[in-house]
Every structure is written in C-alpha cells, then in structure tokens.
Amino acid sequence: MSAPYVAFGDDSLHQDFAAFAFVLVPRTRLNSARRKLDQIKRRFNIPTSTVLHCRTLFNGRQREKMGLSHLAPGDVRAIVAQAITAINEVHGRVHYAVQNFTAFVKQLGSDLHFHSNGGTASVTLPVSVDPKGLLGMLAIACFPLVNFHVNGPSAAQCEIFVSEDRTKISFLGERRMRADSLYAGFLDTGIALMQLNAHVVAADADPLLQLADIAAYVCSHAAVLGSEDGFWREQLARVIHWYKVG
C-alpha cells in the first residue's frame, strides 16, 4: 500500500543557521502541486523545465547565467510567496528543523566518547566543525515519532525524497563521506527508534523538490533574529500546516 504522503526534502545554510525542510504533499494532490509550480513559472516567463534554486534566484549574476535576467528582486520574492500559496492550496505541510550551528557545536564539544556496557570508555571520535554534518540529524528530526496526530504524519507514513548532496564531509570521526549519506540514519529517543528511509535523488528528479528548496531557504532565513527584513518570517507564518523542531 502506498504511503498517503510524499515528502520532498532539502537543506539551507544561512549565516549561523542550518535548516532542513520537507514539503509533504498528499499523494492524491501531487499532480495538482506540479501544475501549480508550472503556473508560477509561466507567470514569470520561466521555462517550466528550469530547476529553481533560491541560492541562484537571489543572486543577480546567477540569474543572468540561467537566462533569467528579466527577473527583478521583487519578482523573486513573489515567486517564493506564490510557492507558499501553492503548498497551502494542495493541503501540503512544511516540516522543518533549524539549529544555530555554533551553539550546537559548543554543546557537542570537540570529541564524542562512547562507552561499553560496563561504563568504560571504548571509542572516542573527533567532531569536525562542518554544518552539513548537522543536516542529517535535522532531516530525521522533521518527523514526529508516532503515527499521524496533531504534529502530522510520521516518516513511516511518507514516501521520502531528498535532493542529493555529493559534498564530502567529515563530522563524526576522520572518515569522509557524502553529506547525503546521513539521510538514512536512525533517531533513538529512548521511547522509539525511527529510521529515515529517504530516496536520495538529483535535484531535477521531481519538480516538487523545488518547493522543498524554497521552504528550506525560507526557514533558514526566518531563523535569523533581529533581521530588519521581515519577509522570511512573514512567509513562514503563512504556512497553514507545519511542524517545527528547534
């Protein structure tokens, strides 16, 4: 039996904040969501085959390279706002986790010490200061541990797709690995054990990954306190159905 929701995930790093966001779309509304994304592109004379990345859209030089020099900064913000509207119109959800990286590293320390059942130290792993190492934890935290309740569906009730990230990182220990390899991890809370069985796919594998890119970008920018630009917090506040950790 197919999962009732399909979740599309992506990350965003902004200043000292790391965010991971999933856009959860009811399986019955997938085609409607894709059509709405195409409609947004047509309104702004963007080819429907173009893969939207906020990091590119908000950079004038990159827009020019993509053939989108006709877009003004106000147009780009309108695209973001209309993407949030589209998520709401298909009864989608935004699940996200955000963390201040400096504070996280300070709490984690420079080494992690693992102990045997007898309590003696057996393994010590160095912690590398790489924000991308945090993203796997944030991705798993985006889902409640129990099946659908007030906080939305669990990971088990979703088919999950995550935009690939081939960046090689070290986070725990010396071994370097692809950043997206962390999206198949486990979360043990002492109450329940959850695994994120995500399909790691190319950014153009499904258009709805572009909504996840936009959602993650909004979440990381909205997390910066004291910003004079309230646009990001306004857009996040417009999301009707959401679940936040951090």
Per-residue model confidence (pLDDT) at position 115: 46
Distances in Å between the alpha carbon of 18 and those of 38, 120, 134, 166, 216?
A: 29, 34, 8, 17, 9
pLDDT at position 26, please? 98
- Cα 87 from Cα 109, distance rounded (Å): 38
Point out the residues of the chain with pLDDT beneath 70. 1, 107-133, 146-149, 166-195, 227-228
pLDDT at 118: 54
Residue with token string 């950014």:
203
Architecture of domain 5-245 in CATH? Answer: 2-Layer Sandwich (3.30)
pLDDT at 198: 81
Q: Angle, nearest 10°, between helix axes 73-89 and 231-238? A: 20
- Based on the number of CB atoms within 10 Å of its own CB, is 80 exposed (0-12), middle (13-18) or buried (19 or more)? buried
